[in-house]
Amino acid sequence: MDLLKPLTESFLLYFLAIDPLGTVAVFLSILPNIKYNKTRVAVEAVMFAFLILIFFMLLGSFILNHLNISLYSFKIAGGIILLLISIEMMFNKRLERKEKSIKQDKIYNSVFPLAIPLLAGPASITSVIVTSSISQGYMYNIYNAIAILLVLLITLGFFLITVKSEKFFNKNILEVISRIIGILLAALSIQFILDGISEYSRTF
């Protein structure tokens, strides 16, 4: 049970941050504009997103140390970022913003805008850096990597289903689920902020 706890915690955090169902809603809106092999684009997007998140997982602590940023400072800052994103999700502004940004760019490939910023965006990158920075030993990083992979594989599954049948997912239902996930992410982000404040208070 103790071995599964860090994996479960990381999985839930990344699931809330990446929001696979909300991501599918955006993917669904741009699907008609993807001119290449849509299945290949979906697979490559998930692969690139995985590599990007693993990069930040491995170098997260190094980046913070190199910039002389304390972990409690990053927890507070990261919590605020996640809180703002969760508020966007609750009011359905996150999906609207992503759809608008993607459609304005009119570039549809596996790297941009699917891998970045749809999958590996501010929320997921912040979450990865926080969890990797508080990890105790290489086993925890392995758990983090597995959790990232599982969430992205779930997202890929949703993408492939959407490619086969665009009518499989109801966009309105996806938006409702995304709002619920936003509430959970808000609670988690506040916990990050409180943890950061608590750690800072112990420095006196």
pLDDT at 91 over 70: yes
Mean pLDDT of the chain: 86
Give dist(CA 12, CA 151) in Å, integer.
9
For residue 48, CA distances in Å to 45, 92, 112 come to 5, 26, 10
pLDDT at 183 over 90: yes
Nearest CA-CA partner of 20 in 126, 148, 122: 148
- What was the pLDDT predicted at 108? 54
- What was the pLDDT predicted at 113? 75
The CA-to-CA distance between both ends of the chain, in Å, stands at 36
Residue 100 or 130, more confident: 130
Q: Tell me how long the chain is.
A: 204
**Whole-model pTM?**
0.86
pLDDT tens across 132-156, in order? 888 777 888 899 999 999 999 999 9
- Domain containing residue 87: 4-203
pLDDT at 105 over 80: no
- Could you tell me the two tokens for 18? 């990446």
Burial-class residue 105 by CB neighbours within 10 Å (0-12, 13-18, 19+): exposed
pLDDT at 73 over 70: yes
Number of domains in the chain: 1
Q: How confident is the model at residue 43 (pLDDT cuts 50, 70, 90)?
A: very high
User: Are residues 153 and 50 in contact, defined by beta-carbon separation less than 8 angstroms?
Assistant: no
pLDDT at 106 over 60: no
- What was the pLDDT predicted at 203? 87
